[in-house]
């Protein structure tokens, strides 16, 4: 299984939001709120579902909603990946 990086998370976010719906995920986007990046809760929940499918990460809807930023979501996912490895 490949490492989950910020770039990989950005790719998954783009795919889950649909082409043309995502913000520019370059530079220092990790600390920006999903809403400021143009991602609604459905796109973030779909991203969490992909993380489960691709990496075995099982986050609750509450954890996903409270993550708030790509960086925090990545941190939560990496913590779970480490726990299951």
Domain around 70? 6-84
Please count the other Cβ atoms lying within 10 Å of the Cβ belonging to residue 11. Answer: 13
**Which pLDDT score, from 0 to 100, does residue 24 have?**
62
**39 in any annotated domain:** yes
CATH number of the structural domain spanning residue 66:
1.10.1200.10
Looking at the 3D structure of the chain, how many domains does it have?
1
Residue 14 or residue 20, greater confidence = 14
**Which pLDDT score, from 0 to 100, does residue 76 have?**
97
Using alpha carbons, select from 83, 7, 9 the residue that is nearest to residue 46.
9
**1 in any annotated domain:** no
H/E stretch holding 46 reads: helix 41-55
What angle (nearest 5°) sits at the alpha carbon of residue 74, between those of residues 1 and 52? Answer: 50
Percent of the chain with pLDDT over 70: 87
Using alpha carbons, select from 60, 65, 3, 41 the residue that is nearest to residue 13.
41
**Which pLDDT score, from 0 to 100, does residue 63 have?**
96
């Amino acid at each position: 299984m490949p490492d989950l990086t910020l770039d990989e998370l950005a790719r998954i976010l783009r795919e889950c939001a649909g082409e043309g719906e995502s913000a520019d995920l370059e530079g220092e986007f990790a600390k920006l709120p999903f809403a400021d990046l143009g991602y609604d809760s459905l796109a973030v929940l779909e991203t969490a579902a992909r993380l489960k499918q691709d990496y075995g990460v099982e986050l609750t809807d509450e954890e996903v909603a409270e993550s708030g930023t790509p960086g925090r979501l990545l941190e939560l996912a990496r913590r779970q990946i480490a726990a299951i490895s």
